[in-house]
Each structure stands twice: as structure tokens, then as C-alpha cells.
Structure 1
Amino acid sequence: MEKRTFWDKFDAFMMKDNTFILLVMGAAAAIFAGTYMFINLGTGAFNDLSIVAMLKDGMDGGDYAAAAGFAAGFLIARVLEGPLVGLMDIGGTLQTGVGIGIPALFLSMGWQFPFSSFPVALLVGAVIGLVMGGVIMLIRKAVPEGVAVGGTSIMMGVGNAIGRYLAPLIVVAATQYDVYAGIGAILGCAIFYKWGKELAGGAILGAMLFGGIFL
């Protein structure tokens, strides 16, 4: 019998279904705990500025509909997409879905317990990851071998398509934070529009540049 090396054993371990679920649990726990830090300390969220702004608007105004609807939609689409196309989008599934969508849903229902302490946030995130990992593996096993999944290409790139319409939200959020950041975001949008680039990127870079210079 051929003796397997450490890396052979490691390879075999990483290819197990249970290992995938453990990895999703760890990532979900860390991201959910990061959102707990953002809610309580104002920093730590694992997400883009524009997406975090949705959650911040909900925290300030009490209306979490935008954050919950946008981010939870990402989560559902990516969980369905992952087992069919053979990859899981960490940004859409974990960072946006677990980091923003699920916390927004909890807060909209008045559930403060998941954010009562850092260990609790880690535990809640791990449980969310366990459920997600289990669902993804169940879908994967339920799909018959050889079934074409080309239709899922509709889901691929949905984040980039939606992101094109987030520039106004970024400008508003930057202006609420500081007038100089708002001016930078507007100028960034104008420059990127002239270049034919994504406006959201220009708004973020402009806000960061002017914020760094004048604040």
C-alpha cells in the first residue's frame, strides 16, 4: 500500500463535504462578528462602503428594508448558484448576505441578542454558516449528474449589474458623513462617467481622497 504524504492527507481532508461546511462556519462566524463590531464600535464590517451604508442608514433611521432586501436577495441567489456552478461567491454569500442582510433582518425584528456580545456573535455566525453549508451541500447532492446548469449564468455578475445603481447612495452617504467627502464623491462620479467607468468606484475613490485631504 502506497504511503500518503501529509499533503495528500491534507488534500483529501479539504475535499470532504464536512470540511466545506466547517470552512463556511468559520468564515460566517468571523464576518457576523465583524458586523457586531461595526454596530457597537463603528468599525469592523467585512463589506463595501456602499453596502455598509445601507445598514448604517437602518441603524440611524430604524428602517432596515433596503439593507435586508438587497443583501438577503444576494444571499439567496448565491446559495442557489454555488452548488450549481461549482463555486461560492464569498462577497455575495458571506460578506453581503451574512454580514449585512441577516443582521439587518435580525435588527428589523428587534432581535438584539445576536449582537449582545462578541462570543455570542461568533456563535450565531457559526450556526448561520452551518445552515448555509448544509443547504448548499444538499442542493449539490440533489442535482443529478450531468445536468446542464447554463441557466445560472443569469445569476453570475448580478452584483456588478446592481452595483451600477449604487453611486447615488454612496454620494448621499458620503455627504451625510461630511461635506468634503460628498464633494469628492460627486467629482469622482463625474470623472468616472467621463472615462466610461463604473460610477460607484469613482464615488468611493473621490470620497476617500477628499476625506483624507480635508478631514
Structure 2
Amino acid sequence: MKNSKINAFLMSPAAFPLLLGVVAASVVAGTHMFITTGSGAFNDIYVVQMLQAGLDTGDYAAAAGFAAGFLIARVLEGPLVGLLDLGGSIMTGVGIGIPAVMLASGIRWPLESFVASLGLGLIIGVVLGCIIMLIRKLMPAGMGSLGTDVMMGAGNKTGQYLGPLIVLSAIGYSIPAGVGAFVGAAISYWFKKPVAGGAILGAMILGALIPVAG
């Protein structure tokens, strides 16, 4: 009975903003890690480089304009097609666009604190979720799918080319990590799974078991 109530709530419209808030919190926390440590951002390499260029030069126009545009487009697209692209809306828009706008405005402290970044992401995600549900309610009958029913990452072709790059990077780090990345990538390819994921797992496992510098 308890599980059925939980499942019913998770499938209700009221749960959508909360779930989106949790996702956004993790992504903004990843951006915090990138700003403070240089790694951890949840995004494509070229998008992260836009933010890095802003951190290096103080000019966040490219990151803010590109990523914020993605956010607006995906928020409007979601209720129309019934599918919210988490890559464009949360990873790019919330993870890069909003932080870039904040940094350009001189607002740094929420992004330099891990706890504050989690709270910031949660608030942004909940607000976006409420906006999307409001658009859904106000949409005229017969337009689009009348609701955002699915959250997913639409993905793109760039991820297909990360596997070999990860293997090469792992080899440069250490020989065991490189061997693990190669084996993991081969296993993933055999089972028709993402090669990048297998390479990362393989490098992490063998690199931790045999910590030998390359």
C-alpha cells in the first residue's frame, strides 16, 4: 500500500517540479565542482569550454547566450511535444547558462559553496518545473501533446566519439588505467552499450586496483 502511494505521487503532476529540482541540484553542484576544482561539470566538452573561457577572461557572453538560449527553447518545447530534453534544459541551460549569467553579474558565492549550489539548483529546478506545468495548463486544447509526460536526455552524436578519447586519456594517465579503459570499451561495444561508459568504468576499476603511474 505504501509503495503504491509513493508510485502514485511520483507519477502525479505535483511531483514533476520536485523531481526536476533534484536533477537540477546535482547539475549545479557539478558546475560548482568545475569552478572550484576544474572538473565535474555535467555537459558536452565544447559547452564547458565556453564557461572555462569565461572563467579565464571574465567574458561570459558566449556561455550565457548559448546555454540560456537552450534553456528557454527547451522549456517552451517541453509542453508542446510532451518531452523535456534534460541535456538542453538542465545540463546546458541550468548547468552552464544560469551560472554564466550569475558570474557575469558578479554573483559568485552560491556557485563557490557546495551546499549553496545544491540549494540553488533545487530552487531553479522547482521553479522551472512549475513554469512548465503552468504552460501545460494554459496551452489551448489541441496544441502539442498537452503535457510534459517524459523527462529524458535526447542525446547527440558527439557522445559516440568520446570513447576513443577516454581510452587515450586513460593511457596517458597510467598503463593499467589505459588497459582497463580499452577492455571496458570493448566489452561495452560487444554488448552494444555506450563505449564511453565502459571505458570510464574500466579505467576506474583497473586504475584503482593497480595504481601505477604511466
TM over 0.5, yes or no? yes
Partner of 1:106: 102
Q: 1:38 aligns with which of 18, 25, 34?
A: 34
1:158 positional shift: 9.9
Change (3 A) 1:78 1:36: same
1:145 positional shift: 2.7
**d(CA) in 1 for partners of 2:155, 2:167:** 25
Partner of 1:131: 127
1:201 positional shift: 5.3
Partner of 1:79: 75
Change (3 A) 1:199 1:126: closer
Offset from partner CA, 1:57-110 (integer Å, 9 cap, x none): 111121111111111111001000111111211111111111111111111111
Partner of 1:10: 6
Contact preservation (8 Å) 1:28, 1:94: yes
Change (3 A) 1:148 1:45: closer
Matched position secondary structure for 1:145:
coil
Change (3 A) 1:53 1:9: same
Give the RMSD, CA atoms, in angstroms.
2.4
Q: What percentage of residue pairs aligned between the two structures are identical?
A: 52
TM-score between both structures, scaled by the size of structure 1: 0.69
**d(CA) in 2 for partners of 1:99, 1:140:** 24
Partner of 2:143: 147
Unaligned regions of 5+ residues in structure 2, if any? Answer: 146-152, 174-214
**d(CA) in 2 for partners of 1:65, 1:14:** 38
Change (3 A) 1:74 1:158: farther
2:107 maps to amino acid: W
**d(CA) in 2 for partners of 1:71, 1:158:** 16
2:138 maps to amino acid: A
Offset from partner CA, 1:146-185 (integer Å, 9 cap, x none): 2246xxxxxxx9985xxxxxxxxxxxxxxxxxxxxxxxxx
What pairs with 1:172-187 in structure 2 (closer than 5 Å)?
none
1:111 positional shift: 0.9
Pairing 1:97–2:89 present: no
**d(CA) in 2 for partners of 1:128, 1:211:** 34
Bigger mean CA deviation after superposition, 60-69 or 6-15? 6-15
**d(CA) in 2 for partners of 1:28, 1:20:** 12
**d(CA) in 2 for partners of 1:126, 1:158:** 22
Change (3 A) 1:38 1:199: closer
TM-score between both structures, scaled by the size of structure 2: 0.69
